[in-house]
Structure 1
Amino acid sequence: KMKARYNFIDGYRGERENVGEWNGGLKKLASKSGHLLLGGIFPDFDVHEDFETSVTYLADAYTWVVPRAHKSAAWVALVIIFKSLVWYSVIAGFFLCGITWKIIAELSEDSDYNRSFRHCFLNTWITVLGFVSYLHPVKESLRVFFVFLNIYCMLFSTAYQTKLFEVLTNPSYEYQIQTVEELVESGLKFGGFEELHDLFYNSTDPFDYRIGDQWTDITNITEAMIDVAVHRNFSLLCSRLELAHISGITPELSDSVGNYKYYTFTDNVFSVPIETIALRGFPFMMEFSTTITIFKQSGLNEGLRQHFAHFNERRRARQLRALLKEKSDVNPLSSEHLQGGFLALALGYVSGTLALIVEVILNCNYVQNKFENFKRRVNPLS
């Protein structure tokens, strides 16, 4: 009875340095430290020249992984709720409603309070915020306008408050790097395993060659992902399957609420199948290839993918439970969540102070005398 013994290699597949000389995992295989090399190994002409390979299986996709964008400042929640066009419309609507209030009040000869220009805008502002105006209109025409203004304000306030709750509980992020061009221009270091480097360095495309020229080789994907997610000074090209595995066993890649600290591009750089490598003359490679072909035809590849996904989900769930245990049962709001409110309060203090200064200046005897003298010069008959 044949027993299989295996060892994990903490490194990469390896590249050919000279004729018949390899580094990495292939060096161990060439030195007969083992019979088979398994893992995320995609087809390579150099490997096929020196080693025996099986048929391909389990195609994997490679994509770029970059640091997650920083969270937006909490005070931004006050303004990002609506698009810019909506805010412009609200501001324009505010002035339009204030002017309309003034016109209707003058034409209908409403009370002096409702005909006052500043009170028209003050009542409009109070109504938009969802509060009750100080004095309701007297004339029916202004009352009709006031009713529909309140309906508009109720709809606006409800939409704003609903979205505000969502924004405060799910904070937004600043602009996220989403393309390779933005990645290269960002100044971040980037790279991956050495075998991926050749795909860019030997390319005839100028942009790919630029990527290959600035490439940084890595030997440990876990350390590279920590540089991406924690230190935020690196971007990595790696397989999606390997990324899912690393994310399930490395808690440093998630924040306190379980969100990933990295961002993966939606588009794949390339997709390749993987294969098993053995020394030349390995007697069981044909049987392995036949078995793999049967498994592929019977749908076992898809079953393995589903099992791998479910296995990672369970590991991810255990990781999230461990993160939640470290947190308190009560998650109070911090001062960051109220930055927007504090900003509005500060603006209120400043605006009120400026308004007070203007009122004091306008109501002082000196200004009043100057104003009376100006009126006499303009209208001598009075």
Structure 2
Amino acid sequence: MDILIDFANTVEDAWDFSGKYVLVGTSTEKLELFATSWKGRKSQHIIGIIKGNSADKWDIYTNRMYTNPPIQRSISWRDGQFTSRKKIFPNKISNLRGAVLKVVTFEWEPSVLYFRDKDGRMVYPFGIDIEVVSAIASVLNVTLQFVEPPPGELWGVATENGSWNGMVGMLSKNEGDIGLANLFLTLGRFGAVDYSAPYDAEVSCFLARTSPPAPKWKSLSLPFQMNVWLALLIGILSCGPVLYVLARASEKCGGENKLFQSFLFSELYTIGFHFRQALTAIPIRTNTQVFISFVGLYTFIITTAYGSNLTAFLTVIQTPSGMETIKELYKSGAEVSGLGGFFKGALASSVDPYLQGLADRFEAYGDLNRVWPQVLKGKSVYLHNRQFLEFVIATQFTEKGVSSVRIMKQCFSPYNIAMALQRHSPLKGKVDQVIGWMLESGLVRRWFLESFRRARRIQESRKVKEEDEEEEAESETTITKDEQQDTTVIPLTIDHLQGSFFILALGYIIGALVFGAEMCLRRSRNPKGSSE
């Protein structure tokens, strides 16, 4: 029996953890030692037979999972038969009778969020992963005890001696039973932990700065695309000459108004149509009247379309498009950042040459507070899964419906999200079954949306509380800018109309330049002292 106990404490030796074992022991103490060994704790079906207090009696003990004492007497054999009809090898995971399971996790929005009191202390966790493990706990009838890995270690990485730190390290050392926090199912952790069935899936995306809005003076050009502006310029330059040619050619048929037989007047006349100017001169001949009618119709459509579209561009913030593809990111030369070195391996192992190139520019950070300033300055893009990035954008970088960061359109490398379990954990079979029920019912997606809304409400309530405290401290009753802007009609400011004033300033400059050119030309034609 002692040799068997030593073998059960040896991790490296082979062992069928799903097998059924019958041991004959000399005492309950020896059975307890075997049941609490490394292999014994992970084997569900172990029974021990010990000689009873009479010659024809044998007591049969069975091991207990995640509770004390580690063994209990189940039935006895007496007079050639069992004393009861209990199952010798029952399913011990279906009901763990309130046993305590340690869940290794940490705050990682939106998978795991902490509700904190006013002093910043965690009151209780919530989020997608917490809902999943709580549902499993309800089915297994267990009590969850949440513990955190050492500060800064998070999921954990392999050390030089082959061991792991962080969450994975705690599970491999049997310091926790379940690990979760948006945990990607990857090959690198196999051998240290086992994974549950995946209950969610994600892709890796890049978080980049939203380019600053275009200057308001550009709004005057935004209602039309460049090809429309070129066509409009051709129309302005061509209408005057055509009208002039028609007026000059009409002399053979009775003559046109003398004003239209001036090239400069014809050009200014048609330009006036484009600017909705009142026209005093009326063409006489039918051919010029027909032409002017079509010019008027064409300019009416153009000016109406421009005026209608201009209002929207004056009042709506125009955000220029930034890089959206991995190729554009590679060519930009921007740094790629991430929390820890996990994503660097994902980039380097990709078959895409641009992703491999980004691995050379990858910078691992240990604190997100160091990453965000770099992203907001446009010096770096942050790489993580889409669900986390969407949550961060909505809760940290969105103000009045406008976000200062965005997710690039092209993502890569889909990952499954699962729980980590101790190697050969007896929980795996039942946990996988419960996860299957969750996926069939669509609960995971529902929990994500509920967690998202709940986190937003908590954040908004905190902001409102902070604003109320600031208002009480200031003791002011003035209307804030937010209240002034919260109206159904938005009054146009000088910022909206700055383009028109730029045109006026440009007119001053061009007028002054033309005046100077005319004066120079006049002096060159009439030198000082010459008679006119």
Tell me the TM-score normalized by structure 1: 0.83
Which residue does 1:301 correspond to in 2? Answer: 444
Letter in 1 for 2:338: G
Which residue does 1:62 correspond to in 2? Answer: 204
Post-superposition offset of 1:126: 1.3
The 1:132/1:316 distance shift into structure 2, 3 A limit, reads farther
Post-superposition offset of 1:326: 6.1
Which residue does 1:40 correspond to in 2? Answer: 182
C-alpha RMSD over aligned residues: 3.4
Structure with more strand by fraction: 2
- Rounded to whole Å, the distance in 1 between the matches of 2:208 and 2:198 is 29
Question: Is it true that 1:224 corresponds to 2:366 in the alignment?
Answer: no
SS at match of 1:137: coil
The 1:28/1:339 distance shift into structure 2, 3 A limit, reads farther
Question: Is it true that 1:261 corresponds to 2:401 in the alignment?
Answer: no
CA contact (8 A) 2:334 2:379 kept: yes
The 1:116/1:267 distance shift into structure 2, 3 A limit, reads same
Instruction: Between 218-227 and 187-196, report the one with greater CA deviation.
Output: 218-227
- The alignment-based identity, stated in percent, is 21
Which residue does 1:340 correspond to in 2? Answer: 499
Question: Is it true that 1:77 corresponds to 2:219 in the alignment?
Answer: yes
| Corresponding residue to 1:26 among 143, 163, 168 | 168
Which residue does 1:379 correspond to in 2? Answer: none
Which residue does 2:279 correspond to in 1? Answer: 133
- Rounded to whole Å, the distance in 2 between the matches of 1:90 and 1:282 is 74
Which residue does 1:380 correspond to in 2? Answer: none
How many corresponding residue pairs?
367
Q: Which has the bigger relative contact order, CA under 8 A and spacing at least 6?
A: 1
CA contact (8 A) 2:395 2:456 kept: no
- Rounded to whole Å, the distance in 1 between the matches of 2:292 and 2:409 is 50
Matches within 5 A, 1:219-368: 219-221=366-368, 223-228=370-375, 230-250=376-396, 253-255=397-399, 257-308=400-451, 327-330=482-485, 333-357=492-516, 366-367=525-526
The 1:24/1:148 distance shift into structure 2, 3 A limit, reads same
The structure with the larger Rg is 2
Post-superposition offset of 1:245: 2.2
The 1:7/1:232 distance shift into structure 2, 3 A limit, reads farther
Instruction: Between 237-246 and 219-228, report the one with greater CA deviation.
Output: 219-228
Matches within 5 A, 1:91-106: 91-106=233-248
The 1:149/1:292 distance shift into structure 2, 3 A limit, reads same
Instruction: Between 127-136 and 297-306, report the one with greater CA deviation.
Output: 297-306
CA contact (8 A) 1:244 1:312 kept: no
SS at match of 1:43: coil
SS at match of 2:403: coil
CA contact (8 A) 2:393 2:406 kept: no
Which residue does 1:4 correspond to in 2? Answer: 144
Matches within 5 A, 1:185-200: 185-193=331-339, 194-200=341-347
Unaligned runs of 5+ in 1: 374-382
Letter in 2 for 1:327: D
Letter in 2 for 1:94: I
Instruction: Between 269-278 and 108-117, report the one with greater CA deviation.
Output: 108-117
CA contact (8 A) 1:248 1:315 kept: no
CA contact (8 A) 1:192 1:217 kept: yes
Spell out, residue by residue over 1:41-93, the C-alpha distance to the aligned partner (whole angstroms, 9 max, x if none). 11122322111221111111221111112222222222232222211111111
Structure with more helix by fraction: 1
Post-superposition offset of 1:303: 3.4
- Rounded to whole Å, the distance in 2 between the matches of 1:317 and 1:163 is 35
The 1:254/1:21 distance shift into structure 2, 3 A limit, reads same
Tell me the TM-score normalized by structure 2: 0.61
